[in-house]
């Protein structure tokens, strides 16, 4: 490997940041929002309000990133949603929240894409 050390370090750091974001999602969010963001985590059946399906393209056309970030930072009630959506401002930095929102967007499927409802990597 002939990459100069600073570049190698940067490459490794950005890979780690991406992996971390997925890890943060699994740790803090997947229990309600599901491994693939479809709102079908194991806690979802016991919630009063069902989490949204982040894989739906129409979800992304009606929301604003600022509102999503605020919901994550200050909780659902801060943007008029259910207070069952907890506030994470105490645990996650603004930068981590920015990255999580980018991560949520990766769940969006293209219109017409066929998704196997059982494909949850074995852990919904
Ligand atoms: C205890 C269950 C629970 C956990 C844990 C949870 N959420 Fe939620 N979340 C919800 C519910 C329920 C809603 C829907 C609220 C509503 O529509 O009134 C929601 C809504 C949201 C919304 C707003 C969606 C919209 O319609 O605008 C975002 C964004 C979000 N969650 C992200 C996250 C992220 C990121 C995490 C982890 C850091 C997380 N949630 C953890 C239950 C949860």
Mean pLDDT rounded to a whole number for the chain: 88
CA atoms within 13 A on the CB side of 44: 18
33 backbone dihedrals φ, ψ, rounded to 5°: -85, -10
54-99, pLDDT tens digit by residue?
Answer: 999 999 999 999 999 999 999 999 999 999 999 999 999 999 999 9
Alpha carbon of 118 to ligand 1 centroid (Å)? 22
Cβ < 6 Å from ligand 1: which residues? Answer: 28-29, 31-33, 43, 47, 49, 51-52, 63, 67-68, 71-72, 76, 81-82, 84-86, 88, 100
Domain coordinates in residue numbering, the chain: 16-105
Substitution candidate for ligand 1 out of 21, 23, 25, 33 with most atoms within 8 A of CB = 33
pTM: 0.85
Per-residue pLDDT of 40-55, as tens digits, reads 999 999 999 999 999 9
Structure confidence at residue 122 (pLDDT): 42
Q: Considering only the top CATH level, what class is 16-105?
A: mainly alpha
């Amino acid at each position: 490997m002939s990459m100069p050390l600073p570049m190698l370090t940067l490459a490794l750091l950005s890979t780690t940041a991406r992996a971390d974001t997925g890890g943060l999602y699994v740790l803090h969010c997947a229990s309600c929002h599901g491994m693939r963001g479809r709102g079908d985590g194991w806690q979802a059946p016991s919630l009063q309000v069902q989490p949204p399906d982040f894989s739906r393209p129409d979800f992304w056309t009606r929301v604003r990133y600022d509102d999503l970030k605020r919901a994550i930072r200050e909780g659902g009630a801060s943007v008029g949603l259910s207070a069952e959506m907890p506030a994470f401002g105490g645990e996650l930095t603004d930068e981590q929240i920015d990255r999580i929102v980018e991560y949520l967007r990766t769940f969006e499927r293209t219109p017409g894409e066929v998704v196997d409802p059982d494909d949850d990597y074995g852990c919904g």
